[in-house]
Chain A
């Protein structure tokens, strides 16, 4: 489906494409400029593939200097710029704009340095997440954040989205694992944020840039923290006949002072889908299963496992299995890690949500989702980063059935509002992008959105970087709010409707 731009978020320009192409060719190789529609087709969407937009132009600079020139040129002419890594994002953050340049960082694929003494890596943004851990492995080090797309997603995109993974509870998100960034401003100026040490002078701009979804600058180099590879990792699989009990067991584990490296939950539909797909040995009759992984020094892992096992059993687990060896552990995880494609086999299409909730509200949110599932007539499978409250309901639909995509989106939107109402957030790790831009109007007030826009303007006064993403315009919220009046209160009453 073609994505309609919001008129208030459109950045107009009247630049002649032929002239602009000639200017680009002054400093870019011919093969690094793509302008033919059929050649630009692969760039028309990211992992949020329900929507496509063909960009005005695609450029693939090879050096920081070339990327600087691209930005200078765009800035000079008022042309919007959308930066893109591997395009695996699930929220449409790298969706092109029709009159803008798509700036691919795909040529920035070098690991510049691994510093084993200081346990850090300096890499270009187009390096794949997993490649960093592979390069660090000879030094018994690794890069901790492990989004499920880690085989394909690039580190530049990880920083732009503040990517998480299944080990966030213990090891944090991307923002906790960064030391420095080299940033190109919208004017093409190269600025270093952070430094070699653990903290730096002035404001914490590393934190501001992380998760800023390409709205504040283009990241061209990243220095990351590396951690020692855990000498031991062991995983428990606990089976539950009741999903609320599974949630309580997870809460009890945290309450007992344990900090698992991974703590995941799946509901029955997700379990059955995963089992049919990878034959992980999952109990297909279970209402829920919990995976609990401990890692670190062997003696610590043994002590933690014993505690966790006892807690799971006293909190209603009908069975607790311990992976007997590394192959068994990997098998436990294979089901969880393939849950998305596994659910994808049950249905022509699925729509992955990404709300986060306080864990204690899990049972009521799951009941709400089940009720919505009936109301919308669409099945939903739930996969849950239970340790940190990040819920991924997967809505099953068929895009070829008229109206089903719209229904799936409406269902998803209702789920996110449930999450906000429960004290949570509309996105835990996938980002807002274009996908959840309307729901931002639910989570934030006009004054908060104005503050976001002011911060954006501090970096990008003309709004050229990734327009129409992450932070909604106030007119958009006024329109969206008009459709979603809660308790008789119209959000953003101060704005004109059009």
Chain B
């Protein structure tokens, strides 16, 4: 039996090279925001555009953050990294890998130049999310440029911090509508010693049942998905633990070289399922929810908690199907553009108030999340 062991060759050249290209553009970005306030214009905050497809269109002048980049602080033994928003995710991941650590939420890049700012603004997480947490779970602190043109610090670089409201986590998934997230401090985790991926052929109903049964037990699962024919689970941890789990769980093992690329393909939506022009819907549901009876094809991730649907059904039908199940949906990729599930009346009012609290002049990414603000 062979078990894939992550090979690590520590070297510090990557980090050093990065420091040379670091730049702090916060003063310039602040000037741009102050000018927008004065001119009563709006801005569209952009990194390298890898997630431009996500969310609704916005009209403002592009405000590029790519010149605000670089890792500010990384303390492997504190499990914390702080970086500027324009830093490439790939650069952060490379530096972490030198110390056998990782961003445990496995951010989807959707392009080679994806930035940290985009990962935080979209709040999207990859296959490990149910087992190791989402972007919002690892964000410890932020430096924010708000709609008054003020640079503010919230949270910090420590794991536990309950001083003041959790503004840092509020920024995650806000799609830039509340301000420019200049710097982010995140908790990082050690890479597992080893991973294997097991395959089990089964039907959808059985897959949902089985993935949830496993999740309720002590297996070292770090990913679980279902493509309509087979469940694939990734086990991560000590080699002895993985070997023991494999022995008890059975299934067929995906060869090591295919396993790593498979999960990367799930994360980056490179599998065949994700190709084509049909609208891709993202449904967030309780993990054991029976598969909704909607026309289309499905890919299930997060052990059942994330359902991707390719379907031409109207937006109301999808939103209603998610709503009645206590979940939520969004139109993720579509020729029609992005669209998020409507908020309840009370939530809508709170959202409007919060937007005004951070961006009273309506400068940032107007309409990107919901129409009108």
Contacts and interface: CB of A to CB of B under 8 A. Distances in A.
A binds B: yes
Interface of A: 115-120, 139-141, 161-162, 164, 168-169, 172-173, 175-176, 185, 189-193, 195-205, 207-208, 210-212, 215-216, 228, 230-232, 251-252, 254-255, 257-259, 296-300, 302-304, 356-360, 385, 387-390, 423-432, 436, 440, 443-445, 447-448, 451-452, 454-459, 470-471
Interface stretch (B25-33, B59-67, B147-155): B147-155
B164 A303 contact: no
B77 A448 contact: no
Contact of B328 (A195, A255, A426): A195
B305 A191 contact: no
Given A197-B284, A452-B164, A169 B159 contact: yes
A431 B160 CA distance: 11
A118 B286 contact: yes
A136 to B, nearest CB: 11
Contacts of B370: 202
B78 A119 contact: no
Contact of A164 (B160, B165, B340, B354): B160
Given A176-B137, A208-B169, 17 more contacts: A192-B347, A196-B286, A198-B130, A198-B284, A201-B342, A202-B369, A252-B77, A297-B220, A360-B78, A430-B162, A443-B163, A444-B164, A447-B150, A448-B164, A451-B146, A456-B165, A459-B353
Given A458-B356, A471-B164, A202 B216 contact: no
A160 B239 CA distance: 41
B305 A390 contact: no
Interface stretch (B13-21, B186-194, B308-316): B186-194
Contacts of A430: 162
Contacts of B219: 297
Interface stretch (B87-95, B111-119, B240-248): B240-248
B106 interface: no
Nearest to B158: A356
Contacts of B146: 451
B48 interface: no
A358 B68 CA distance: 25
A7 to B, nearest CB: 22
Q: Which of B148, B215, B238 has the most CB of A within 10 A?
A: B238
Contact of B166 (A193, A207, A300): A207
Instruction: Sort chain B's interface into a size bin.
Output: 35 or more
Contact of A189 (B286, B326, B346, B357): B346
Contact of A388 (B159, B164, B191): B159
B330 A201 contact: yes
Interface stretch (B170-178, B196-204, B252-260): B170-178
B72 interface: no
Nearest to A211: B162
A388 B158 contact: yes
Contacts of B58: none
Contacts of A431: 162
A360 B326 contact: no
19 contacts: A117-B288, A161-B162, A197-B306, A198-B306, A201-B328, A201-B342, A208-B167, A232-B218, A257-B193, A299-B238, A303-B241, A356-B160, A360-B77, A425-B160, A425-B163, A429-B160, A432-B163, A448-B153, A455-B358
Contacts of B283: 197
Interface string B267-290: 000000000000000011111110
Interface string B24-44: 000000000000000000000
Contact of B79 (A117, A211, A254, A425): A254
A473 to B, nearest CB: 14
A445 B212 CA distance: 46
Contact of B165 (A116, A185, A429, A455): A455
A228 B218 contact: yes
Interface in B303-347: 305-306, 325-328, 330, 340-344, 346-347
